[in-house]
Amino acid sequence: MKGLELCESYFREVGLPVLERECGQVLERMATGLVGDGSECYGYDDEISRDHDWGPSFCIWLTRDDYEAVGSKIQEVYDALPRTFKGYGPRLTSQWGGGRIGVSEIGAFYSRFIGTYQPPDTYDEWLLLPENALAAATNGRVFQDRLGEFTTIRHALLQFYPEEVRLKKIASRCMTIGQAGQYNFPRCVKRGELYAAQYSETKFCADAMSLVFLFNKRYAPFYKWIHRAIKELPTLGDYMYESISHLVEEHDYSVKAERIEGISQALINELRRQGLSDHTSDYLPDHGPVIHQAIQDQRLRERNVWIG
């Protein structure tokens, strides 16, 4: 059983009846679910994942007033729940896995990932946030939220970056993808700098996949899951999953260079298809400035095109 399904069943069959009995006065104000760090929140967990921070559990999110008034009591009720369920558990918490489950205040939960108690207000704030942090703050599943405060913030974040910020990031990715893959990779190979060549290939893959997430208006997750997650995207998802797989499996550097060029051309074609660039070049860094100039905000447009 996948962790997310296990945890929702655990909540509905074990947790909810107890919460109704012991905390009925605030049950209507609670949000519950499983969101945040951990492979199970993405649905990517497997047997290997079960050795730590996995098992029957869920999150309870409270408003600040409710957390201050009854948060400790609800945590005591949560801690008293059975630690095993349907043959799974108990959950083993790793050194860095504390705080992923149990009771927390809504604002503090989001602040843990995005640094504030609410969605960013400015372009600067959006640009400072790592994509994987936004992915973690919006993954998983909300089991119940009758008050709606938790999901209001969640839905605002899921609207994705403001378009000006998305364009800034797309322009930057064009520069770094082309520099790492089309330019530096073959040069490093010719010089015999194989570590630099490997790093260029990895940088190319990471930023190329990030660009595809930007095309799809989805936040790219933690690097361990980005390749697995990309095949779920409707635009270029399957293509990129297979192409990156073939690239990293290849040992012939000349074939690697050809695969890098093929991926680059697919990305350029998508830029044109989405109306983001009309440049005729087959070199990605030529498209970055074109996209960058389409940014309407003057202050954002005046920033270095490489940074996004």
Structural domain tally of the chain?
A: 2
- Same domain assignment for residues 85 and 208: no
Q: pLDDT, tens digit, for every residue of 257-267?
A: 999 999 999 99
The Cα–Cα gap between 117 and 224 comes to 27
CATH number of the structural domain spanning residue 176: 1.20.120
State which H helix or E strand residue 223 sits in: helix 223-230
- Same domain assignment for residues 153 and 241: no
Of the ranges 93-97, 107-111, 235-239, 286-290, which one carries the lowest mean pLDDT score? 93-97
User: Region 268-273: what's the mean pLDDT?
Assistant: 98
Q: Tell whether the model's pLDDT for residue 95 goes beyond 90.
A: no
Global pTM reads 0.95
- Same domain assignment for residues 146 and 170: no
Q: Tell whether the model's pLDDT for residue 46 goes beyond 90.
A: yes
Q: Is residue 308 part of a domain?
A: no
* Of residues 23, 45, 25, 46, the one with CA closest to residue 34: 45
**Domain boundary residue, one of 116, 134, 158:** 158
pLDDT at 97: 86
pLDDT at 227: 98
Residue with tokens 């050194």: 95
Amino acid letter for position 97:
G
- Same domain assignment for residues 149 and 231: no
Q: Is residue 136 part of a domain?
A: yes
Domain residue limits at 31:
3-158
- Same domain assignment for residues 223 and 112: no
The per-residue pLDDT of the chain, averaged, comes to 97
- Same domain assignment for residues 125 and 172: no
Interstrand relation of 102-105 and 59-62 (parallel, antiparallel or unpaired): parallel
- Same domain assignment for residues 204 and 239: yes
**Domain boundary residue, one of 158, 180, 206:** 158
Q: pLDDT, tens digit, for every residue of 65-94?
A: 999 999 999 999 999 999 999 999 999 998
> Contact 51/92 with Cβ under 8 angstroms?
yes
The residues facing 141 across adjacent strands are 34
Q: pLDDT, tens digit, for every residue of 277-291?
A: 999 999 999 999 999
% of the chain with per-residue pLDDT over 90: 97
Contacts with 205 (C-beta within 8 Å, 6 or more apart), sequence order = 227, 244, 247, 248
> Contact 199/236 with Cβ under 8 angstroms?
no
Q: pLDDT, tens digit, for every residue of 161-202?
A: 999 999 999 999 999 999 999 999 999 999 999 999 999 999
229: Cα separation from own chain's centroid: 9
Q: Tell whether the model's pLDDT for residue 37 goes beyond 90.
A: yes
Q: Tell whether the model's pLDDT for residue 104 goes beyond 90.
A: yes
Q: Is residue 307 part of a domain?
A: no
